[in-house]
Structure 1
Amino acid sequence: MTLPEPLFDYEACLFACARGERQALVALYAQESARLLGVAKRIARDNALAEDIVHDAFIKIWMRAASFDPQRGSARGWIFSVTRHLALNFVRDSRLEIQVSDDSELALQPLATLDGRHQEQDALEWRTGAERIHGCLEQLDPARRTCIVHAYVDGYTHAEIAEKMATPLGTVKAWIKRSLSALRECMG
């Protein structure tokens, strides 16, 4: 029998960081760096850049831990928010601005119109996909839907989900596996 992992106390860890306890930052890094790297990679689409973003995120977490307010949200959410905002800011700030002459701008207008149509089509496809996945999730049993959301949105491990839901680990793993199959079939 596998014992569930003890829950990590993100809030206590942030408060310890705010007090200058370096070991708390080390523990936080060990707990979340891989997941935060995944978040940064999805946004930045570059491994080396994502590593830099996570490094900067942990510096910011260390420096701003005292600004965390548990009344405004979870400590784990705050940590992920810091990382997402850094990644989004970096991607936004790294866009190149090119000076274009009036003649060149006139020549590029048909391409801009075409690009705008592609962006509209991509947005429509994304909305349609989001509506489909939402509809498929709604078809799942509420407990199984909760497991999927905890695993793929909140980033919880199977053991954390089992503890949070007071459900045996094997059951949670089976629910997630079957639910993913059901979602694939529904989206197919």
Structure 2
Amino acid sequence: MTTREDIEDMIQRVALHDRAAFEALYSATSAKLFGIILRVLKDRAASEDVLQEVYLRLWQGGAETFSSGKASPISWLATIARNRAIDRLRRIKPSRQLDDVPEMVEPGPGPEASAVASSERARIDACLDELNPNRAAAVRGAYLDGDTYADLAGRFDVPLNTMRTWLRRSLMSLKDCMTR
């Protein structure tokens, strides 16, 4: 499990352009940061772009601005990711020039598409309910909330490899359930 001190050390080494530290930092934090960005943007492709911008900025000198005594390193990274996502939202949001001009709204999914999506969601929920509650919570954390394997292993107090096994087996069970 990656500790606060490990992440602080990685950030300090990234400031010195240590490639191994950069790779380790990305592996340890990218899933969590991606989850944060995705919650703000609600667009996977844009979120991937912003995540890349965050790590590029760290590599190009942003890591030098980290002060180890002021904030936790993951909170500092999360703030950077959130702010970059909000900046992206502001850039892509159309500004209204005239208040009396109605804003064009894209039509949402039609009744048929909504019914299909609702049915699929119900099937997924039913399959998740078939799993052990801890396994279902871990799957939701990893694939819906963007939690890292290390975060989940810590939350459920199991070794990291056990968490990976839980998730792999749970996904296989979900796949079997969805094909029935």
Give the TM interval when normalised to the shorter protein.
Answer: 0.5 to 0.7
Correspondence 1:24-43 to 2 at 5 A: 24-43=21-40
Q: TM-score, normalised by structure 2?
A: 0.55
Residue 155 of structure 2 is aligned to residue 157 of structure 1: no
Aligned to 2:85: 87
Query: What is the alpha-carbon distance in structure 1 between the residues aligned to residue 8 and residue 155 of structure 2?
Result: 18
Aligned to 1:74: 72
Which structure shows the higher helix fraction? 1
* Structure 1 unaligned spans of 5+: 112-150, 163-167, 174-188
Structure 1 vs Structure 2 CA RMSD = 3.0
Query: What is the alpha-carbon distance in structure 2 between the residues aligned to residue 86 and residue 68 of structure 1?
Result: 16
- How many percent identity over aligned positions? 24
Deviation at 1:19, TM superposition (A): 1.1
Equivalent position amino acid for 2:44 in 1: N
* Structure 2 unaligned spans of 5+: 104-140, 164-180
Aligned to 1:7: 3
Structure 1 runs (4+) greater than 4 angstroms displaced: none
Equivalent position amino acid for 2:28 in 1: Q
State the aligned residue count: 117
Q: TM-score, normalised by structure 1?
A: 0.53
Query: What is the alpha-carbon distance in structure 1 between the residues aligned to residue 158 and residue 21 of structure 2?
Result: 28
Contact (CA 8 Å) 2:2, 2:28: kept in 1 or not? Answer: no
Deviation at 1:60, TM superposition (A): 1.5
Deviations 1:24-80 (A, max 9, x none): 111111112122111111111111000000000101122211110122201111111
Residue 44 of structure 2 is aligned to residue 50 of structure 1: no
Larger Rg: 1
